Structure 1
Amino acid sequence: MKNTMRKTNNLILGLALSGLLFWQCGGAEKTKEKAEEIVEEVVEESVEPSLTYLWETSEELITCESVLVDEATGKIYVTNIDGNPTDKDGNGYISIINDKGDIVEKKWLTGLDAPKGMAIDEGKLYVTDIDKLVEIDIESSSISETYPVSDAVFLNDVTINDGVVYFSDTRTGKIHKLENGEVSLFAEGQESINGLRFADGVLYGLDGSGLKEYKKDGSFTLLNEKVVGGDGLIVLGEGEFLASKWKGEIWVVKGEKAWKVLDSKADNSNTADIGFLKDENIVLVPTFQRNKVVAYELNY
């Protein structure tokens, strides 16, 4: 873990070195190595990750479900269902906000039904919409292609690797993929599968069992069983993740450990498909029924 821990590391390292040097007159290099081992153990036990409130948008993002940061441009996209998550009513739209909480363009793209997860690749924004995957040309702000999925019920999150688009169906327990214009099945039997994220060519997912790491053939390894039924998934670093649970929880996951850093259930504030400004360590939380995006600084 990082950030807050770096300051703690320096303090504890100094104390550890002082104590060890007092008792050991020789072998300075070994003494330093031993001190660093102590620091690692003490910091791991004493410092827990946390979130600090920063800002929130106005309550104009109706039933906001997902936030995505375009790392190439800095634009922040928000999907808004504006109705029931399964109704084909044409009310859904995508907004653009900035990193201060201003709504730059409330209805950047309209005409969707119940848009949820998003991912960007080669100038295209891909978004799930109940039983189809929609491809949007970012430059022209228009729908360029639609890919229906015959047996889909509740398409949800999206992620991309090497031009292949992967997307989940929470109700059917399937992960589909779009490759060369064709939709095919990647994995099935994934109970309540939702959040998906690629990092360094590896696919991770959140479902009713917990956090999974998938192989290329669709098989998986269960990494963590503490965060079950997760929604949004962010890869923070090697073996470190940020996961949201729709009812109002956000967790930091590291290996088999997990820390709850936000619980907003008492305020009836949901935590849906979160976004992340990685340079600033800012978590962007779509609150669904509260109709706004809330930003927090992540300390970990």
Structure 2
Amino acid sequence: MRTLIIPSLAALVLAACGGPTPEETAEVAVVAEEAETAIPEARALELVWMASGFEQPEGAALAPDGSYFISNIGPGDSGALDGNGYVSKLKADGSLEAARFAEGLHAPTGMVVKDGVLYVADRDGVAMIDAATGASQGKVLIEGVQFLNDVTEWKGDILVSDSGTGAIHKVTPDGASPFASSADWAGINGILGDGDRLLITTMTDGKLIDMRGPGAETVIAAGMKDADGVGLVPGGGYLVSSWPGEIHHVSEDGVVSLMVDTKADGILQNDLSVFGNVVIVPNWEPGTVTAWKIVGQ
């Protein structure tokens, strides 16, 4: 049976718990908009916790021990090479494990863990961090990049997107090389390796793209302006965040339904990631991280 995630027509008002600094509980009201198409077997996102105390959080990655890494742009200008960026670590319940698990970054965004190494997109390259200790393992500088954004593993390679140039670079500990680029990738943001395909989101046209290789590219859906992170829904379909404050469901046949809209509340929905049936979304503003659970029949 194919799984779909479409909210009920009522607003989802759920208690949020956990939070690193200070430890507290909070409440958040999230309005789920009516799906454009009535789909049976409706599903929803249930808020599990919202953690606070971050500084421009943007990306999330699953740690080997089941906790979560959260990238923080840090205070000040997100484009500055100021060393103010850092990575926090949260336990699975949203409580703080380490406020500054790794430091000295400029403006860290997307992340992924491979073979015990946390790869972090930074302003001038990709930092490598020991995923167990937080110790630096160096940085691969990438010349000519404008805004390195998301990181994924695909077919054994580490890839990083550059939103400014519409390109993807391959990264190894020895250096970086161009992987792919396209005029259709204006504002490329999220990338996610999934078997034989690479999923790509773009901000300019709000596309979700299925790429199998050079010349083998299909647009799954479009119109999700400022699309950011993408995650796979267990059983089929996708979740796509739009950073100004939306979470969309995209069905296998490309039907887009708005699930969450927090724009009026000033809550951004940044680099969404799905780990099993848990959805982790950093909120650049107001400096929180939200955990959702995929529920329903």
Q: Name the TM-score, length of structure 2 as normaliser.
A: 0.81
Counterpart of 1:292 (choices 278, 288, 292) is 288
What's the CA shift for 1:237? 4.7
Structure 1 residue 139, shift from structure 2 partner: 2.9
For the pair shown, the structure with the greater C-alpha radius of gyration is 1
Aligned partners of 1:192 and 1:277: how far apart in 2? 25
* Structure 1 contact 187–219 (Cα < 8 Å) conserved: no
1:2 counterpart residue number: 3
In structure 2, the partner of 1:75 is 67
Letter in 1 for 2:48: L
State the one-letter code of the partner of 2:101.
Answer: W
Deviation at 1:187, TM superposition (A): 2.0
Task: Give the conservation status (yes or no) of the 8 Å contact 1:49–1:259.
Answer: no
| TM-aligned CA deviation for residue 219 of structure 1 | 4.8
Structure 1 equivalent of residue 209 of structure 2: 212
Question: Partner residue of 1:90?
Answer: 83
SS in 2 for 1:82: coil
- 2:117 alignment counterpart: 124
Offset at residue 44 of structure 1 (A): 6.9
Q: C-alpha offsets along residues 197-241 of structure 1, whole Å, 9 cap, x if unaligned?
A: 011131110013301111222652111113243111112257511
Which of the residues 45, 56, 73 maps onto 1:51?
45
Q: Are 2:145 and 1:152 equivalent residues in the alignment?
A: yes
Structure-2 change in CA distance of 1:99 and 1:68 (3 Å): same
Q: Which one has a larger percent strand, Structure 1 or Structure 2?
A: 2
1:178 aligns with 2:171: yes
Code of the residue aligned with 1:297 in structure 2: it is K
1:236 matched to 2:233? The reply is: yes
Match 1:134 to one of 103, 127, 131: 127
Q: Secondary structure at the match of 2:271?
A: coil
2:263 is matched with: 265
Q: Distance in 2 between matches of 1:60 and 1:95?
A: 10
Compare the two structures and name the one with the higher helix fraction.
Answer: 1
Contact map agreement 1:63 1:82 (CA 8 A) in 2: yes
Count of matched residue positions in the alignment of Structure 1 and Structure 2: 259
Residue 109 (structure 1) aligns with: 102
Q: Retained in 2: the 8 A contact 1:169–1:193? A: yes
What are the superposed Cα offsets for residues 157-206 of structure 1, whole Å, 9 maximum, x if unpaired? 00012331111011111111124733121222310000000111311100
TM-score, structure 1 normalization: 0.80
Query: Shift in Å at residue 282 of structure 1?
Result: 2.1
- Cα shift at 1:75: 1.7
Cα distance between partner residues in 2 of 1:186 and 1:224? 23
Corresponding letter in the other structure for 1:142 = A
Gaps of 5+ in 2: 7-36
Give the secondary-structure state (helix, strand or coil) at the position aligned to 2:264. helix
Q: How high is the sequence identity, in percent, across the aligned residues?
A: 28
Please provide the CA RMSD for this pair: 2.2
**For the residues of structure 2 that align with 1:260 and 1:97, how far apart are their CA atoms?**
28
